[in-house]
Amino acid sequence: MDFLSTPEAWISLLTLTVLEIVLGIDNIVFISILSGKLPQDQQKKARQLGLGLAMITRILLLLSISWVMTLTSPLFNIGSWVGINSGDWFEKLAISGRDLILIIGGLFLIYKSTHEIHHKLEGEDDEEGNVKAHSFWATIVQILILDVVFSLDSVITAVGMAEHIEIMIAAVVIAVIIMMISAGGISSFVNDHPTVKMLALSFLLLIGVSLLAEGLDQHIPKGYIYFAMAFSVLVEMLNLKTRKATKKEPVQLKNTLKK
Protein backbone atom coordinates (compact mmCIF):
# COMPACT_ATOMS: atom_id res chain seq x y z
CA MET A 1 0.00 0.00 0.00
CA ASP A 2 3.06 2.28 -0.16
CA PHE A 3 1.95 3.50 -3.57
CA LEU A 4 -0.85 5.50 -1.87
CA SER A 5 1.75 7.90 -0.55
CA THR A 6 2.61 9.05 -4.08
CA PRO A 7 0.81 12.02 -5.73
CA GLU A 8 0.43 9.99 -8.93
CA ALA A 9 -1.74 7.44 -7.12
CA TRP A 10 -4.13 10.10 -5.77
CA ILE A 11 -4.32 11.85 -9.13
CA SER A 12 -5.07 8.48 -10.73
CA LEU A 13 -7.78 7.79 -8.13
CA LEU A 14 -9.42 11.19 -8.64
CA THR A 15 -9.30 10.99 -12.44
CA LEU A 16 -10.60 7.44 -12.50
CA THR A 17 -13.42 8.25 -10.04
CA VAL A 18 -14.61 11.16 -12.20
CA LEU A 19 -14.42 8.99 -15.30
CA GLU A 20 -16.38 6.20 -13.59
CA ILE A 21 -19.11 8.69 -12.68
CA VAL A 22 -19.26 10.00 -16.26
CA LEU A 23 -19.41 6.46 -17.65
CA GLY A 24 -22.10 5.62 -15.08
CA ILE A 25 -24.48 8.43 -16.06
CA ASP A 26 -26.16 6.29 -18.74
CA ASN A 27 -26.52 3.53 -16.15
CA ILE A 28 -28.26 5.94 -13.73
CA VAL A 29 -30.64 7.11 -16.48
CA PHE A 30 -31.53 3.52 -17.39
CA ILE A 31 -32.08 2.56 -13.75
CA SER A 32 -34.17 5.71 -13.15
CA ILE A 33 -36.47 4.95 -16.07
CA LEU A 34 -36.95 1.30 -15.13
CA SER A 35 -37.43 1.97 -11.42
CA GLY A 36 -39.94 4.71 -12.27
CA LYS A 37 -42.30 2.02 -13.57
CA LEU A 38 -42.43 0.32 -10.17
CA PRO A 39 -44.76 1.27 -7.28
CA GLN A 40 -43.53 4.32 -5.36
CA ASP A 41 -42.48 2.35 -2.29
CA GLN A 42 -40.21 0.07 -4.37
CA GLN A 43 -38.47 2.66 -6.53
CA LYS A 44 -35.72 3.69 -4.10
CA LYS A 45 -34.97 0.07 -3.24
CA ALA A 46 -34.68 -0.80 -6.95
CA ARG A 47 -32.31 2.14 -7.58
CA GLN A 48 -30.07 1.29 -4.64
CA LEU A 49 -30.06 -2.43 -5.43
CA GLY A 50 -29.40 -1.75 -9.11
CA LEU A 51 -26.40 0.50 -8.37
CA GLY A 52 -25.19 -1.94 -5.71
CA LEU A 53 -25.23 -4.73 -8.29
CA ALA A 54 -23.35 -2.45 -10.70
CA MET A 55 -20.64 -1.95 -8.08
CA ILE A 56 -20.38 -5.68 -7.34
CA THR A 57 -20.27 -6.48 -11.07
CA ARG A 58 -17.44 -4.02 -11.68
CA ILE A 59 -15.42 -5.23 -8.70
CA LEU A 60 -15.80 -8.87 -9.74
CA LEU A 61 -14.73 -8.00 -13.27
CA LEU A 62 -11.72 -6.12 -11.92
CA LEU A 63 -10.74 -9.08 -9.75
CA SER A 64 -10.98 -11.34 -12.81
CA ILE A 65 -9.24 -8.87 -15.09
CA SER A 66 -7.05 -11.52 -16.72
CA TRP A 67 -10.24 -13.27 -17.87
CA VAL A 68 -11.79 -9.97 -19.01
CA MET A 69 -8.79 -9.20 -21.21
CA THR A 70 -9.13 -12.61 -22.91
CA LEU A 71 -12.55 -11.45 -24.11
CA THR A 72 -10.76 -9.33 -26.70
CA SER A 73 -9.51 -12.46 -28.50
CA PRO A 74 -11.58 -13.28 -31.65
CA LEU A 75 -14.02 -16.18 -31.32
CA PHE A 76 -15.13 -16.28 -34.96
CA ASN A 77 -15.15 -14.10 -38.07
CA ILE A 78 -18.29 -13.08 -39.92
CA GLY A 79 -16.16 -12.22 -42.93
CA SER A 80 -15.39 -15.87 -43.59
CA TRP A 81 -19.13 -16.57 -43.70
CA VAL A 82 -19.74 -14.00 -46.44
CA GLY A 83 -16.61 -14.66 -48.50
CA ILE A 84 -14.34 -11.89 -47.15
CA ASN A 85 -11.03 -13.50 -46.27
CA SER A 86 -8.59 -10.58 -46.15
CA GLY A 87 -8.28 -6.82 -45.78
CA ASP A 88 -9.54 -4.31 -43.23
CA TRP A 89 -13.11 -5.60 -43.33
CA PHE A 90 -11.96 -9.11 -42.48
CA GLU A 91 -10.33 -7.73 -39.32
CA LYS A 92 -13.35 -5.58 -38.46
CA LEU A 93 -15.73 -8.55 -38.80
CA ALA A 94 -13.79 -10.64 -36.27
CA ILE A 95 -16.09 -11.07 -33.24
CA SER A 96 -14.66 -11.48 -29.74
CA GLY A 97 -16.39 -12.19 -26.43
CA ARG A 98 -16.37 -8.48 -25.62
CA ASP A 99 -17.91 -7.72 -29.03
CA LEU A 100 -20.69 -10.24 -28.40
CA ILE A 101 -21.50 -8.66 -25.03
CA LEU A 102 -21.56 -5.18 -26.57
CA ILE A 103 -23.70 -6.27 -29.52
CA ILE A 104 -26.23 -8.09 -27.32
CA GLY A 105 -26.27 -5.19 -24.84
CA GLY A 106 -26.65 -2.65 -27.63
CA LEU A 107 -29.55 -4.54 -29.21
CA PHE A 108 -31.22 -4.93 -25.81
CA LEU A 109 -30.83 -1.20 -25.12
CA ILE A 110 -32.18 -0.27 -28.56
CA TYR A 111 -35.16 -2.58 -28.06
CA LYS A 112 -35.85 -1.36 -24.53
CA SER A 113 -35.58 2.36 -25.32
CA THR A 114 -37.67 1.98 -28.50
CA HIS A 115 -40.31 0.04 -26.55
CA GLU A 116 -40.43 2.75 -23.85
CA ILE A 117 -40.66 5.56 -26.44
CA HIS A 118 -43.51 3.70 -28.16
CA HIS A 119 -45.17 3.20 -24.77
CA LYS A 120 -45.01 6.94 -24.03
CA LEU A 121 -46.15 8.10 -27.45
CA GLU A 122 -48.95 5.59 -27.86
CA GLY A 123 -50.25 6.18 -24.32
CA GLU A 124 -50.65 2.61 -23.17
CA ASP A 125 -51.58 3.72 -19.65
CA ASP A 126 -55.25 3.40 -18.87
CA GLU A 127 -57.61 6.38 -19.08
CA GLU A 128 -57.25 7.21 -15.40
CA GLY A 129 -53.47 7.52 -15.82
CA ASN A 130 -52.64 4.50 -13.71
CA VAL A 131 -49.34 2.89 -14.59
CA LYS A 132 -49.33 -0.85 -15.14
CA ALA A 133 -47.57 -2.61 -12.26
CA HIS A 134 -44.20 -4.12 -13.09
CA SER A 135 -42.42 -6.96 -11.36
CA PHE A 136 -39.68 -5.81 -8.98
CA TRP A 137 -37.36 -8.73 -9.73
CA ALA A 138 -37.99 -8.58 -13.48
CA THR A 139 -36.85 -4.96 -13.32
CA ILE A 140 -33.75 -5.91 -11.31
CA VAL A 141 -32.86 -8.61 -13.88
CA GLN A 142 -33.05 -6.02 -16.70
CA ILE A 143 -30.87 -3.64 -14.68
CA LEU A 144 -28.36 -6.43 -14.04
CA ILE A 145 -28.11 -7.26 -17.76
CA LEU A 146 -27.19 -3.68 -18.62
CA ASP A 147 -24.92 -3.42 -15.56
CA VAL A 148 -22.72 -6.11 -17.12
CA VAL A 149 -22.56 -4.25 -20.44
CA PHE A 150 -21.86 -0.82 -18.92
CA SER A 151 -19.39 -2.31 -16.45
CA LEU A 152 -17.33 -3.99 -19.17
CA ASP A 153 -16.28 -0.71 -20.80
CA SER A 154 -15.83 0.88 -17.39
CA VAL A 155 -13.46 -1.87 -16.25
CA ILE A 156 -11.42 -1.84 -19.47
CA THR A 157 -11.08 1.94 -19.11
CA ALA A 158 -9.97 1.55 -15.49
CA VAL A 159 -7.31 -0.98 -16.46
CA GLY A 160 -5.94 1.41 -19.05
CA MET A 161 -5.68 4.30 -16.58
CA ALA A 162 -4.46 2.77 -13.31
CA GLU A 163 -1.73 0.31 -12.43
CA HIS A 164 -2.99 -0.92 -9.06
CA ILE A 165 -6.16 -2.97 -8.57
CA GLU A 166 -6.75 -1.26 -5.20
CA ILE A 167 -7.04 2.15 -6.90
CA MET A 168 -9.46 0.76 -9.49
CA ILE A 169 -11.73 -0.80 -6.84
CA ALA A 170 -11.60 2.35 -4.65
CA ALA A 171 -12.58 4.51 -7.65
CA VAL A 172 -15.51 2.21 -8.47
CA VAL A 173 -16.78 2.21 -4.86
CA ILE A 174 -16.51 6.01 -4.50
CA ALA A 175 -18.19 6.57 -7.88
CA VAL A 176 -21.10 4.24 -7.06
CA ILE A 177 -21.62 5.85 -3.63
CA ILE A 178 -21.82 9.27 -5.30
CA MET A 179 -24.24 7.87 -7.89
CA MET A 180 -26.39 6.35 -5.13
CA ILE A 181 -26.64 9.74 -3.44
CA SER A 182 -27.58 11.54 -6.66
CA ALA A 183 -29.77 8.81 -8.21
CA GLY A 184 -32.89 9.80 -6.27
CA GLY A 185 -32.78 13.41 -7.44
CA ILE A 186 -32.03 12.43 -11.03
CA SER A 187 -34.82 9.85 -11.02
CA SER A 188 -37.38 12.30 -9.62
CA PHE A 189 -36.40 14.98 -12.12
CA VAL A 190 -36.58 12.58 -15.08
CA ASN A 191 -39.95 11.14 -14.03
CA ASP A 192 -41.46 14.56 -13.22
CA HIS A 193 -40.66 16.01 -16.65
CA PRO A 194 -42.04 14.00 -19.62
CA THR A 195 -39.85 15.81 -22.17
CA VAL A 196 -36.73 15.08 -20.11
CA LYS A 197 -37.75 11.44 -19.88
CA MET A 198 -38.16 11.28 -23.66
CA LEU A 199 -34.73 12.91 -24.04
CA ALA A 200 -33.25 10.34 -21.65
CA LEU A 201 -34.78 7.51 -23.69
CA SER A 202 -33.28 9.05 -26.82
CA PHE A 203 -29.89 9.03 -25.06
CA LEU A 204 -30.30 5.33 -24.28
CA LEU A 205 -31.17 4.69 -27.93
CA LEU A 206 -28.03 6.60 -28.97
CA ILE A 207 -25.90 4.64 -26.50
CA GLY A 208 -27.41 1.37 -27.75
CA VAL A 209 -26.42 2.24 -31.32
CA SER A 210 -22.94 3.20 -30.06
CA LEU A 211 -22.54 -0.15 -28.27
CA LEU A 212 -23.70 -2.02 -31.37
CA ALA A 213 -21.22 -0.11 -33.56
CA GLU A 214 -18.44 -0.71 -31.02
CA GLY A 215 -19.19 -4.43 -31.05
CA LEU A 216 -18.82 -4.39 -34.86
CA ASP A 217 -15.47 -2.57 -34.54
CA GLN A 218 -16.87 0.75 -35.74
CA HIS A 219 -15.55 3.06 -33.03
CA ILE A 220 -17.55 6.22 -32.31
CA PRO A 221 -15.53 8.60 -30.07
CA LYS A 222 -17.40 8.91 -26.76
CA GLY A 223 -16.53 12.60 -26.65
CA TYR A 224 -18.90 13.23 -29.56
CA ILE A 225 -21.68 11.31 -27.84
CA TYR A 226 -21.22 13.04 -24.49
CA PHE A 227 -21.04 16.46 -26.18
CA ALA A 228 -24.29 15.78 -28.05
CA MET A 229 -25.94 14.63 -24.81
CA ALA A 230 -24.66 17.66 -22.86
CA PHE A 231 -25.81 20.06 -25.59
CA SER A 232 -29.26 18.43 -25.71
CA VAL A 233 -29.56 18.69 -21.92
CA LEU A 234 -28.60 22.39 -22.06
CA VAL A 235 -31.26 23.06 -24.72
CA GLU A 236 -33.86 21.15 -22.69
CA MET A 237 -32.98 23.12 -19.53
CA LEU A 238 -33.53 26.36 -21.48
CA ASN A 239 -36.85 25.00 -22.77
CA LEU A 240 -37.96 24.10 -19.24
CA LYS A 241 -37.00 27.55 -18.00
CA THR A 242 -38.83 29.19 -20.91
CA ARG A 243 -41.99 27.14 -20.31
CA LYS A 244 -41.88 27.97 -16.62
CA ALA A 245 -41.58 31.68 -17.39
CA THR A 246 -44.33 31.49 -20.02
CA LYS A 247 -46.77 30.03 -17.50
CA LYS A 248 -46.46 33.17 -15.40
CA GLU A 249 -47.13 35.61 -18.25
CA PRO A 250 -50.92 35.06 -18.61
CA VAL A 251 -51.38 35.83 -14.91
CA GLN A 252 -49.42 39.07 -15.21
CA LEU A 253 -51.39 40.10 -18.32
CA LYS A 254 -54.72 39.50 -16.57
CA ASN A 255 -53.68 41.59 -13.61
CA THR A 256 -52.58 44.39 -15.94
CA LEU A 257 -55.88 44.37 -17.83
CA LYS A 258 -57.88 44.51 -14.62
CA LYS A 259 -56.10 47.69 -13.65
pLDDT < 50 stretches in the chain? 3, 125-132, 249-259
196 to 16, 229, 236, 257: CA distances (angstroms): 28, 12, 7, 35
Q: What is the pLDDT of residue 2?
A: 53
Note whether 38 and 46 are within 8 A (CB): yes
CB atoms within 10 A of CB 127: 6
Q: What is the four-CA torsion angle of 193, 178, 168, 108, rounded to 10 degrees? A: -20
188 to 24, 43, 68, 234, 259: CA distances (angstroms): 18, 10, 35, 18, 40
Give the DSSP H or E segment for 59. helix 40-63
Note whether 187 and 47 are within 8 A (CB): yes
